[in-house]
Amino acid sequence: MTIIQNLGECENNNLYVKREDLIPFSFGGNKARKAELFFRKIDSDEYDCVVTYGSGSSNHCRIVANECCRREIPCFIISPQEASKRTFNSQMMELLGAETLTVPVSEVHDTIERKLAVLTRAGKKPYFIPGGGHGNIGTEAYVQCYREIQKQEQTLATYFDYIFFASGTGTTQAGLVCGQLLASDDRQIIGISIARKNPRGRDIVLDSVKEYMEGRATEERIQAATIFVDDYTSGYGKDDRRVTNTIEDVLKQYGIPLDATYTGKAFIGMQQYIEREQISGKNILFIHTGGTPLFFDSLKEMSEGI
Ligand SMILES: *Cc1c(COP(=O)(O)O)cnc(C)c1O
Query: How far apart are the CA of 46 and the centre of ligand 1, in A?
Result: 27
Structure confidence at residue 131 as a pLDDT band (50, 70, 90): very high
What is the average pLDDT score of the chain? Answer: 95
Q: What is the mean pLDDT of residues 193-205?
A: 95
Q: Is the beta carbon of 59 within 6 A of some atom in ligand 1?
A: yes
Q: If DSSP codes are grouped into helix, strand and coil, which group holds residue 244?
A: helix
Task: Return the percentage of the chain with pLDDT > 90, whole number.
Answer: 92
For atom 5 of ligand 1, the residue with the nearest CA is: 168
Domains along the sequence of the chain with CATH: 4-30+136-303 (3.40.50.1100), 31-133 (3.40.50.1100)
Q: Is the beta carbon of 264 within 6 A of some atom in ligand 1?
A: no
Residue with more model confidence, 300 or 175: 175
Q: Is the beta carbon of 201 within 6 A of some atom in ligand 1?
A: no
Q: For the chain, how many helices (H) and strands (E)?
A: 11, 10
Q: Is the beta carbon of 166 within 6 A of some atom in ligand 1?
A: yes
pLDDT tens, residue by residue, 96-128 = 999 999 999 999 999 999 999 999 999 999 999
Q: What is the mean pLDDT of residues 200-228?
A: 97
Q: Which atom of ligand 1 is nearest to the CA of 58?
A: 15
Query: How far apart are the CA of 59 and the centre of ligand 1, in A?
Result: 8
Q: Which atom of ligand 1 is nearest to the CA of 259?
A: 13
- pLDDT reported for residue 11: 85
Structure confidence at residue 306 as a pLDDT band (50, 70, 90): low
pLDDT tens, residue by residue, 237-280 = 445 788 999 999 999 999 999 999 999 999 999 999 999 999 99
Sheet of strand 49-53: strand arrangement: 99-103, 75-80, 49-53, 126-129
- pLDDT reported for residue 234: 60
